[in-house]
Every structure is written in structure tokens, then in C-alpha cells.
């Protein structure tokens, strides 16, 4: 977070065009720069779990170890991988800023959501700004392959949000769309940052693919558990309201599984829980169904697939950490 703050500050102090713009808008430079800086740093407050950078760096270290680098090479590669880790948190945060505007979020991580503390217009710009600084950090890597891989994440995030707006008539199609959306919204960022760090470690194409598989499966498991916690955890623990997905009209894995047991849910899913008591009824159906258990089982399967993907790596404390991390994903409470 300290490094991200430095990147954001540096840009704010040095950008001549922004100073000119502040003159043209008639808003004092300090006020314009001050509030943008304050906003941009608002979610980088050390309260987030920083799961994405942790995964990217742990995988990077495990791969560097596997590649038998000398100490100098290891340090240099890890420094480059660190930039990918930083970018991953910046992309994630920018997407959360935009997401909170789209979802009219009240709170995030136990404090007012950015769009409540400021307004939607400034919040959109703040998300764009964090993304812009992330792009500058990415350019410092001067690596076309890594650039392509991380650009794909941005496209996937937008695609995922679009998919979330779609309805499907058929149960199987609905579940497939949900899984694909889950990849785009959550797993893509983790999968491609893992891939990027394997590329920076100069791993063989096969091993680069395994890094992608590790991230993809951990990412899908992470989101499945997130969707589970929306039903199982309290709003106090989550730092955001519980049952939020239903309130937004979204049918996630627990509801989709429950609907095979309780066909009454089908109508509620199709009308996106929009009528009076729909949210409460769906919540009750899920609680008495096997949906929560089935979601946990599916998350476990993805964790197993993640562990299998990194099997070819030589043993190291980092490889063990990657394996332990899959357990943490399953047992987390917030």
C-alpha cells in the first residue's frame, strides 16, 4: 500500500496538465489535486485483504525458486513481479470503485463507500485515475506479453459485469453463464497476474499455463466462497451488507443449486428477486437447501485443481504457501 501511495502521490505532484486543467476549471489546484489524491488513496488503507498481490508474489517466488536463479537474478525478477502485484491491487481497487457506483453501495470494508463519501462523477474519475497510474507502472516493465495479459484482465472485468446483466431461461445455461462470469469478474485478474509472474520468471510455456490454471482455480474458489459468505456471514464481519447479491437481483451458486431442489426459486430468479418478500423467500429456500454445501464442495474441487496445477514445481516454502493458501480460501469468514 505504501508503494501504491507513492505512485499516486508522485503523479499528483508532477502532472503539469492536471495543474493547467485545474486553472481552466477554476478550481484551486490544491483542492482539485487534494481531493483526487485523497479519493484515490481512500481504499488503499490497509484494511483490504490484499489477496491478489499476495498470491501473485507467492507464485512468483515459487517459480523463481523452480527456475534455479542465482541470487541477483532472483532479486531482479522479484522486483519486476512486485510491480505486477501492485498493478493487480490497483486494477482490483479501480474496479471496486466503479462497482460501488454501479451497485449504489453504502459501505465497503466497514466504512462509507467511495460514492457515498464523494459523488458518482468524482468516483468514476477516481477509478479511471487509479487505472491510469496502474497503466504507467505496467509500462515500466517494458514487456509486451505481460502487457497483453494484463490488458485482457481489463476486458474480462467489463465483460463479466455485462454478463451479470443477462438472463438465461435454461438452468444449465444459467449455471454456465454464472461460472463464466465468475471467471471474468474475479478469477481472470488472479489467473493472469499469476501467468504474468510466471512469464517474468522465464518459465517454460507449459509451466506458464500451469500458473494460469492455479490462479484461475483459486480465483473461482475464492468467488464461490464469497457468494457463500453472502448467505452465511454477518454484515458486521463482511464490512458490507449481507444478502447483498439477492438485493441486487443476482442469483449466485447457492441459489442456482437450491433451485434444482426448490423449483419455486425459478420464478424468483427470472424476475431478479424484484417483488415484495422475494429476497427473504429466496434466502429461506437457500438456507434449507443443500445449495450452501454444494457451493462449498465446488469451491473445494477448484482448490484441488489449483494444487494439482503447481504439482510440477520443485518443493519450496513458497510452493507450500500456495498450497496452504487454497485451504485459507475455503475457511475464510470475511
Please provide the size of the chain in residues: 334
The Cα 129–Cα 118 span in angstroms is: 15
Binding part of the chain for ligand FPP, among 1-9, 49-57, 97-105, 193-201 by CB under 6 A, reads 97-105
Round to whole Å and give the CA distance between 119 and 131: 19
Residue 94 binds ligand FPP, judged by CB under 6 A = yes
Nearest-approach distance from CB 107 to Mg ion, in angstroms: 11
User: How would DSSP label each residue in 86-144?
Assistant: HHHHHHHHHHHHHHHHHTT-SEETTEE-HHHHS-HHHHHHHHHHHHHHHHHHHHHT--H
Using the contact rule CB under 6 A, the part of the chain among 98-106, 199-207, 211-219, 304-312 near ligand FPP is: 98-106
Applying the rule CB under 6 A, the residues between 108 and 127 that interact with ligand FPP are: 127
Q: Work out what residue 157 binds among ligand FPP, Mg ion, none; the CB cut-off runs from 5 to 8 Å by kind.
A: ligand FPP
Q: Based on CB atoms, which residue is closest to ligand FPP, 210 or 227? A: 227
Q: Which does 154 bind (CB under 5 to 8 A by kind): ligand FPP, Mg ion, none?
A: ligand FPP
48 phi and psi angles, rounded to 5 deg? -70, 160
Site membership for ligand FPP, residue 156 (CB under 6 A):
no
Residues 173-232 binding ligand FPP (CB under 6 A) are: 185-186
- Where in 80-119 is the site for Mg ion (CB under 5 A)? 99, 103
Cross-strand bridge partners of residue 111: 108
* DSSP assignment of 151-211: HHHHHHHHHHHHHTT---SSHHHHHHHHHHHHIIIIIHHHHHHHHHHHHHTT--HHHHHHH
| Binding test (CB under 6 A) with ligand FPP, winner from 141, 154, 253, 329 | 154
**Gyration radius of the chain's alpha carbons:** 21
**Could you tell me which of 104, 7, 89, 8 has the C-alpha nearest to residue 48?**
89
131 binds ligand FPP (CB under 6 A): yes
Looking at the Cβ atoms of 103 and 226, the one nearer to Mg ion is 103
Binding site for ligand FPP (CB under 6 A): 91, 94-95, 98-99, 102-103, 105, 127, 131, 154, 157-158, 161, 185-186, 240, 244
Amino acid at each position: 500500500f505504501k508503494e501504491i501511495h507513492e505512485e499516486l502521490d508522485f503523479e499528483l505532484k508532477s502532472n503539469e496538465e492536471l495543474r493547467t486543467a485545474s486553472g481552466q476549471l477554476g478550481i484551486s489546484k490544491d483542492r482539485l489535486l487534494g481531493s483526487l489524491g485523497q479519493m484515490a488513496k481512500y481504499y488503499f488503507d490497509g484494511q483490504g485483504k490484499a489477496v491478489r498481490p499476495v498470491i501473485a508474489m507467492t507464485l512468483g517466488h515459487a517459480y523463481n525458486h523452480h527456475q534455479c536463479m542465482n541470487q541477483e537474478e532472483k532479486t531482479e525478477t522479484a522486483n519486476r513481479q512486485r510491480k505486477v502485484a501492485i498493478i493487480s491491487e490497483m486494477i482490483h481497487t479501480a474496479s471496486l470503485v466503479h462497482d460501488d457506483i454501479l451497485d449504489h453501495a453504502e459501505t465497503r470494508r466497514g466504512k462509507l463507500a467511495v460514492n457515498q463519501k464523494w459523488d458518482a462523477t468524482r468516483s468514476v474519475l477516481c477509478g479511471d485515475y487509479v487505472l491510469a497510474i496502474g497503466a504507467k507502472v505496467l509500462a515500466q516493465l517494458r514487456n509486451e506479453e505481460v502487457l497483453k495479459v494484463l490488458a485482457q484482465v481489463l476486458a474480462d472485468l467489463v465483460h463479466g459485469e455485462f454478463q451479470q446483466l443477462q438472463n438465461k431461461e435454461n438452468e444449465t445455461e444459467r449455471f454456465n453463464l454464472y461460472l463464466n462470469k465468475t471467471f471474468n469478474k474475479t478469477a481472470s485478474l488472479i489467473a493472469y497476474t499469476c501467468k504474468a509472474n510466471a512469464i517474468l520468471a522465464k518459465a517454460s510455456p507449459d509451466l506458464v499455463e500451469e500458473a494460469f490454471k492455479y490462479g484461475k482455480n483459486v480465483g473461482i474458489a475464492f468467488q464461490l466462497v464469497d457468494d457463500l459468505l453472502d448467505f452465511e456471514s454477518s454484515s458486521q464481519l463482511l464490512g458490507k451488507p449481507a444478502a447483498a447479491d439477492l438485493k441486487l437481483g443476482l442469483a449466485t451458486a447457492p441459489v442456482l443449486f437450491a433451485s434444482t431442489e426448490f423449483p419455486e426459486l425459478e420464478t424468483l430468479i427470472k424476475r431478479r428477486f424484484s417483488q415484495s418478500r422475494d429476497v427473504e423467500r429466496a434466502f429461506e429456500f437457500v438456507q434449507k437447501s443443500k445449495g450452501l454445501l454444494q457451493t462449498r464442495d465446488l469451491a473445494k474441487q477448484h482448490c484441488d485443481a489449483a494444487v494439482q496445477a503447481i504439482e510440477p514445481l520443485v518443493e519450496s516454502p513458497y510452493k507450500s504457501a500456495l498450497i496452504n493458501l487454497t485451504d485459507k480460501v475455503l475457511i475464510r469468514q470475511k
